Amino acid sequence: MLKARNFMKSQDGFLGIIVLGIGAIIGVVILIEITVLFITNYTKASIIYDRLGAAMDFAVISASMNLPSGTTDNEELNAIGNAETEDEKAFEYFVYSFNQISNSTYSDNEFTVPGLPGNIKILDFYKVDVGDSIPPPRTPLGEPALDAGTAKQPGYVVSAEVPIWQGGIWNIQPISIDMRQYRALQPSPLDE
């Protein structure tokens, strides 16, 4: 027993280096895991944001190209009918295109997208007129967020709640982030 203690005392520096090396390896592994978690979540959230934008592009272009013509002699009734049909069609085009882009299914205002910790909830989809408030554009990582602006022309806004993973090594859990997209209605090339 005495020889073992003497051996351990003579090896204090060597054992300390081994413990320090193991601790450094564990620290590097934890740092790598947190970095990978951040990068994958940021990438996945960016992809969903871009897919929402692409679906909005398709919706507004399709809605502007497929506006119904008036069927009565009253221009005011025609405008009301066109606006209601346009709003419904724009949302249908949005749902259709997002399903196609993200390989998802839609029911009860929720998209089920593979690879996410939950469903994407559509909180709102509404028409914006000139002068209405619109969400700010996306800013690159690390830059200050821009203020919301006002619409220079009519369009649509979608507001969605998107689930992603958050946390560190021992407390990874799903959270939801809000995403909003605005797209302006383009004049139909058929109106010339």
Is 1 part of a structural domain of the chain?
A: no
Cβ count near 73 (within 10 Å): 7
pLDDT of residue 96: 92
pLDDT in tens, 128-177: 888 887 776 666 666 655 566 787 878 888 888 888 877 666 677 777 78
Total domains in the fold of the chain: 1
pLDDT of residue 28: 93
Is 82 part of a structural domain of the chain?
A: yes
Give the residue-averaged pLDDT of 99-116.
Answer: 87
Give the pLDDT band of residue 109 (cuts 50, 70, 90).
confident
pLDDT of residue 1: 59
Q: Flag whether the pTM goes above 0.85.
A: no
Is 3 part of a structural domain of the chain?
A: no
Is 8 part of a structural domain of the chain?
A: no
Residues spanned by the domain of 155: 14-191
Both tokens of 191, joined, read 């109106």
pLDDT higher than threshold 50 for residue 77: no
Give the residue-averaged pLDDT of 98-120.
Answer: 87
pLDDT in tens, 13-55: 677 788 888 999 999 998 888 888 888 878 888 888 899 989 9
Give the pLDDT band of residue 69 (cuts 50, 70, 90).
very low
**Between 6 and 98, the higher pLDDT residue:** 98
Q: Which of 74-88, 93-107, 138-152 has the lowest mean pLDDT?
A: 74-88
How are strands ordered across the β-sheet holding 105-107? 105-107, 110-112, 120-128, 155-166, 173-184
* Nearest partner of 122 among 140, 149, 104, judged by Cα: 104
Question: From CA 162, how far away is CA 70, in angstroms rounded?
Answer: 38
Q: What's the distance, CA 100 to chain centroid?
A: 16
Q: What are phi and psi of 6, to 5 degrees?
A: -60, -40
Q: What's the distance, CA 64 to chain centroid?
A: 25
Give alpha helix (H) positions in 103-152: none
Is 32 part of a structural domain of the chain?
A: yes
Is 7 part of a structural domain of the chain?
A: no
pLDDT of residue 70: 42
Is 57 part of a structural domain of the chain?
A: yes
Is 40 part of a structural domain of the chain?
A: yes
Give the residue-averaged pLDDT of 178-191.
Answer: 70
pLDDT in tens, 111-126: 988 888 888 898 888 8
